[in-house]
């Protein structure tokens, strides 16, 4: 009995008793553990993927660092190349601006000045010499200043026409107006008697028809005694006074089919354009000058417009006109034998070329047609009756003949019924020699 009790006690010690609730809990716990168990294959796969991602990330970090280093090196190289190039160009310019000539014995300093007859220097050359080298610098004045002392050679050069009255491309028929292109010195001529506009390139022996040339008429591709022409600001269109068609027409230089009537019903005689590209027209039928601003259909009367008359607020058959940089308008007031200047927004003009008629003064202006103005405000007028170009200085009671002779003729020193005038950038003076059917160029006299 004693032995059996001990045995039972030993068994109870090794295997403790559990209640029914404890069994249920144990079973449930075991079930949960079984459901959440991760098999050996899945664990290996997760570890493998994690290792691969870590390697890729580490490799990316290494490549990113290399790209940053490479980019920094490239930027440094570009900056270095640009800096070296700028320094080399600067050095080259400094070398070309100075000419070194070795002169072992010269020690003098020489200064030479080339001037025109107006005592205005056109080119200054300064040379300084030393026992070892000579430095030469030259400064050229880009344009000639024309003033009251400027002279022109008496013998002109015929630059267009001069082959008699005719309709061939090497001929003109009573030309009236001209426009000289400041870029290439081409001359656009209102070849009035041939009802066309022709362009003569610099040095050419014949012209080319650029507008009209389809006979006299009123169709959009025809002209009827055109008497003036200008280029628009962009030099894409000709603007033409179509005199007997009483209109101003716009004609494309790039497309001969592109033509447009700009201003109808106007007795236009002269045209001018200011530095803004605004167009000015002289209307001898309405005794006024009108400005047409770009983009506006209506013009503004800037001179005259008060009926025909001789008062300073009136005009009588205005012919050619000139507009200066301040937008003042100079008008050849034909029947009043005068030139008047109308400042911008003025109510009347001022008398700048009186045109006093007297037998004692052979340089008197009678029936002015063309007019241009120089840098100092001196006025140059073509006089129909005297066959000369007269210069009127500020405040002068009389003008002075600068071109032409007292007698009309066809010699290089003579004119016959001069009309429109124009300067080029070198100061040469172009004259429309109407009844000699030619355009004359009088070169500026630098002697």
Quickly list DSSP for 5-21. Answer: HHHHHHHHHHS----HH
- What is the 8-class DSSP label of residue 395? T
Distance of CA 414 to the CA centre of its chain: 36
Q: What is the mean pLDDT of residues 192-197?
A: 98
- What is the rounded distance in angstroms from the CA atom of residue 440 to the CA atom of residue 357? 27
Q: 315: closest CA among 286, 280, 346? A: 286
- What is the rounded distance in angstroms from the CA atom of residue 348 to the CA atom of residue 340? 9
- The confidence score (pLDDT) of residue 90 equals 53
Assign 311 a pLDDT band (cuts: 50, 70, 90): very high
Burial pattern 311-337, b for ≥16 Cβ within 10 A else e, equals ebbbbbbbbbbbbbeebbbbbbbbebb
- The confidence score (pLDDT) of residue 395 equals 75
- Furthest-apart CA atoms within the chain: distance in Å: 181
- The confidence score (pLDDT) of residue 53 equals 64
- The confidence score (pLDDT) of residue 68 equals 75
Tokens of 282: 């002289």
Q: 371: closest CA among 327, 431, 296, 414? A: 431
* Res 155 pLDDT > 60: yes
- The confidence score (pLDDT) of residue 258 equals 93
| Contact predicate 152/184, CB 8 Å | no
Q: What is the mean pLDDT of residues 25-54?
A: 46
- Any idea which residue has 């059996």 for tokens? 4
- What is the rounded distance in angstroms from the CA atom of residue 151 to the CA atom of residue 403? 9
pTM: 0.68
Q: What is the mean pLDDT of residues 158-165?
A: 96
- Any idea which residue has 């004692």 for tokens? 360
| Contact predicate 100/133, CB 8 Å | yes
> Radius of gyration over alpha carbons of the chain, in Å?
46
Q: What is the mean pLDDT of residues 352-372?
A: 71
Burial pattern 402-440, b for ≥16 Cβ within 10 A else e, equals bbbeeebeeeeebbbbbbbbbbbeebbbbbbbbbbbbbb
138 versus 174: which is more confidently predicted?
174
- The confidence score (pLDDT) of residue 212 equals 95
Tokens of 349: 């003009």
Strands (E), 116-265: 121-129, 134-140, 157-161, 178-180, 187-191, 196-200, 208-212, 226-231, 237-242, 247-252, 259-264
* Res 392 pLDDT > 70: yes
Average pLDDT, the chain: 77
Domains parsed from the chain with CATH numbers: 165-406 (2.120.10.30)
417 versus 61: which is more confidently predicted?
417
SS3 state of residue 220: coil
| 129-143, 287-301, 307-321, range with the lowest pLDDT | 129-143
Q: Which residues contact 186 (CB under 8 A, 6 or more apart)?
A: 180, 199, 200, 201, 202
């Amino acid at each position: 009995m004693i032995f059996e009790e001990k045995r039972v006690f030993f068994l109870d010690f090794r295997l403790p008793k559990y209640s029914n609730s404890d069994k249920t809990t144990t079973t449930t716990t075991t079930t949960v553990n079984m459901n959440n168990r991760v098999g050996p294959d899945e664990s290996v796969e997760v570890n493998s993927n994690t290792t691969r991602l870590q390697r890729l990330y580490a490799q990316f970090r290494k490549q990113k660092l290399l790209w940053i280093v490479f980019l920094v090196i490239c930027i440094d190289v570009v900056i270095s190349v640009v800096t070296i190039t700028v320094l080399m160009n600067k050095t080259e310019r400094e070398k070309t601006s100075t000419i070194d000539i070795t002169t072992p014995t010269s020690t003098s300093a020489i200064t030479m000045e080339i001037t025109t007859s107006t005592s205005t220097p056109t080119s200054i050359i300064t040379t300084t010499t030393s026992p070892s080298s000579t430095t030469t610098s030259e400064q050229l004045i880009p344009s000639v200043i024309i003033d009251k002392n400027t002279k022109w050679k008496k013998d002109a050069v015929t630059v267009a026409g001069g082959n008699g009255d005719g309709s061939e491309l090497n001929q003109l028929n009573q030309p009236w107006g001209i426009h000289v292109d400041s870029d290439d010195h081409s001359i656009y001529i209102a070849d009035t008697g041939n009802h066309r506009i022709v362009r003569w390139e610099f040095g050419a022996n014949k012209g080319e028809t650029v507008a009209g040339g389809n006979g006299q008429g009123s169709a959009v591709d025809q002209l009827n005694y055109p008497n003036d022409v200008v280029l628009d600001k962009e030099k894409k269109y000709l603007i033409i006074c179509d005199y007997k068609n009483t209109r101003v027409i716009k004609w494309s230089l790039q497309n001969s089919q592109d033509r447009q009537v700009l201003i109808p019903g106007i007795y236009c005689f002269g045209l001018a354009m200011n530095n803004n590209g605004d167009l000015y027209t002289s209307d001898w039928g309405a005794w006024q000058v009108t400005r047409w601003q770009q983009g506006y259909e209506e013009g503004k009367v800037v001179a005259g417009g008060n009926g025909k008359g001789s008062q300073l607020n009136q005009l009588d058959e205005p012919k050619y006109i000139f507009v200066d940089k301040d937008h003042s308008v100079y008008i050849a007031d034909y029947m009043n034998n005068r030139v008047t200047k109308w400042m911008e927004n003025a109510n009347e003009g001022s008398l700048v070329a009186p045109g006093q008629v007297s037998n004692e003064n052979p340089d008197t202006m009678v029936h002015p047609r063309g007019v241009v103005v120089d840098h100092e405000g001196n006025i140059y007028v073509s006089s129909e009756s005297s066959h000369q170009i007269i210069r009127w200085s500020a405040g002068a009671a009389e003008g002075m003949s600068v071109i032409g002779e007292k007698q009309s003729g066809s010699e290089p020193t003579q004119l016959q019924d001069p009309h429109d005038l124009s300067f080029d950038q070198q100061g040469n003076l172009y004259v429309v020699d109407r009844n000699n059917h030619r355009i004359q160029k009088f070169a500026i006299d630098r002697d």
